[in-house]
A and B are shown apart, each in its own frame.
Chain A
């Protein structure tokens, strides 16, 4: 009965959402009324924040569905079990950093709430985990398609926020030049030289050796010229 009510509530919310911005807000409110055991979760505040969001349709949808997912054994529980192609697609296509930040913030709320409830805390932890993992995955995909975003301040901020929640974004492997500069910057000269020697083809090694010989010969020549000048 509760499940049917939830589905109806959710479907109604979805349909009305196309015409009225407050529909998702309604879904959350309805859900808050239904979800008795976890009624102390700040749904009203969540609903208020969703209402205030403009024009992030996707995020409203996420959070509305997210709230509904709290019903164990219901359709939303399934969302935690299976890859939800629709949600994932929407999240990736709406490449909105502010939306991701919003999801991180509310994931934190869910996970914090799990510390204060006796009503299946792992479930609240899981809802937070679901969204934090999704956001981390979406950021990883963005960075994979454009490595330069690794240096973008907003991305760095979100990566840091996720890191604070113990979600490490795996960033794409940097180029050899970046690796070299990174290690030189940390004074790991021996390591750089050994990697260079092991990974370079023979002609590069030969070129390097010739270069060193030429530079040393040049230094010796300059030194001898100065020496002669001083003698005169």
Chain B
């Protein structure tokens, strides 16, 4: 009987940490709020990146037969998850294959550069960099030093992919909406209306914040960009919007936000289950 009790207690102690894996982050570094502004409702998750405790991870593609969800489940053990969101677009006919230049942990998934405008680099260390690749070179840390690459050039793109392999970086492309306080989307963008979710990096004084903005109202990408930019600058009074990129809310719309105890909020929440994710942007606390 005594052995049985010890065994039960031991099992419970082993199960407890994994069931509570998504738990506990400091509310001083993470703010989850809803703001009404100029007739629309903005759900925001504001992450303080200056203290370097909030980190990012991106799962760009399945690994062999291991789905993105299974990769995420395995990776998240022992980590405190703040939110998960679908990242970039995928090819409709070849579900799960991402559009645009994509590298997953140094492994090239799609070498084709698209004209989306933004290349997002997620370092193995949890850092995130966004580059306006249509107009500027991208600077990436290769070993001990930074190197500059013009991704429009095949030769430099090959060098960039080599560098990404060396540092096990993850990259994906998406639409660049705002860069260095300047709108980068024009009136010829898609007229389709739907809910929108953006990732913005903003400065308030010397503090850098990553802000996920979710707009549940159906709106075009252009209108949503203008409105969210106005909301961030005027409504939230950020000094600078360093970049704002689009996160896909299409057929793979996964979005979960967790409270400090690791429980998923009922709202905001994407319509698809996390297990259906084909790529996944994760913010976690360390």
Where the two chains meet, the residues of A that have a C-beta atom closer than 8 Å to any C-beta of B are 77, 80-81, 122-123, 125-127, 129-130, 132-133, 136, 150, 162-163, 165-171, 173-174, 179, 182-183, 191, 194, 198-199
Interface core residue of B113, B152, B155 (most chain A CB under 10 Å) = B155
Contacts A163-B97, A168-B97, A171-B93 given; indicate if A126 touches B158 (C-beta within 8 A): yes
Contacts A150-B93, A163-B97, A174-B92 given; indicate if A122 touches B112 (C-beta within 8 A): no
A residues less than 8 Å from B271 (CB atoms)? 191, 194
CB of A171 within 8 A of CB of B92, answer yes
Q: Which label, helix, strand, loop or mixed, suits the secondary structure of the B interface?
A: loop
Interface core residue of A122, A136, A199 (most chain B CB under 10 Å) = A122
CB of A81 within 8 A of CB of B153, answer yes
* 24 residue pairs from A and B, CB less than 8 Å apart: A81-B150, A81-B152, A81-B153, A122-B158, A122-B159, A122-B162, A123-B155, A123-B158, A126-B153, A133-B154, A150-B93, A163-B97, A166-B109, A166-B111, A167-B111, A168-B91, A168-B98, A170-B91, A171-B92, A182-B92, A183-B251, A191-B271, A199-B194, A199-B218
Interface residue ranges of B239-281 to A (CB < 8 Å): 251, 271-272
A residues less than 8 Å from B99 (CB atoms)? 168, 170
CB of B94 within 8 A of CB of A126, answer no
Chain B interface, number of residues (Cβ within 8 angstroms) = 30
Cβ contacts B137-169/A at 8 Å (1 or 0 each): 000000000000010111101110110000000
Query: Is B126 positioned at the interface, with any CB of A under 8 Å from its CB?
Result: no
CB of A170 within 8 A of CB of B154, answer no
B residues less than 8 Å from A165 (CB atoms)? 111
CB of B154 within 8 A of CB of A168, answer no
Which A-B residue pairs are the 3 nearest by beta carbons?
A126-B155, A126-B154, A125-B158
A168–B150 alpha-carbon span in the complex (Å): 21
The residue that B157 contacts in the complex, of A126, A168, A179, A194, with Cβ under 8 A, is A126
A173–B92 alpha-carbon span in the complex (Å): 7
Where the two chains meet, the residues of B that have a C-beta atom closer than 8 Å to any C-beta of A are 91-94, 97-100, 108-114, 150, 152-155, 157-159, 161-162, 194, 218, 251, 271-272
B residues less than 8 Å from A191 (CB atoms)? 251, 271-272
CB of B111 within 8 A of CB of A122, answer no
The residue that B110 contacts in the complex, of A150, A168, A173, A183, with Cβ under 8 A, is A168
CB of A80 within 8 A of CB of B155, answer yes
The smallest beta-carbon distance between B267 and chain A, in angstroms, is 15
A169–B161 alpha-carbon span in the complex (Å): 19
A residues less than 8 Å from B152 (CB atoms)? 81
The smallest beta-carbon distance between B254 and chain A, in angstroms, is 12
A residues less than 8 Å from B158 (CB atoms)? 122-123, 125-126, 129
CB of A122 within 8 A of CB of B155, answer yes
A122–B162 alpha-carbon span in the complex (Å): 8
B residues less than 8 Å from A174 (CB atoms)? 92-93
Kindly report which residue of chain B lies nearest to residue A79, judged by CB atoms: B154
Interface core residue of B94, B98, B112, B194 (most chain A CB under 10 Å) = B112
A130–B157 alpha-carbon span in the complex (Å): 10
A199–B217 alpha-carbon span in the complex (Å): 11
The smallest beta-carbon distance between B96 and chain A, in angstroms, is 10
CB of B93 within 8 A of CB of A132, answer no
CB of A163 within 8 A of CB of B154, answer no
Kindly report which residue of chain A lies nearest to residue B114, judged by CB atoms: A170
A133–B114 alpha-carbon span in the complex (Å): 10
The smallest beta-carbon distance between B115 and chain A, in angstroms, is 10
The residue that A77 contacts in the complex, of B92, B93, B155, with Cβ under 8 A, is B155
B residues less than 8 Å from A136 (CB atoms)? 112
A residues less than 8 Å from B109 (CB atoms)? 166
A11–B150 alpha-carbon span in the complex (Å): 29
The smallest beta-carbon distance between B157 and chain A, in angstroms, is 6
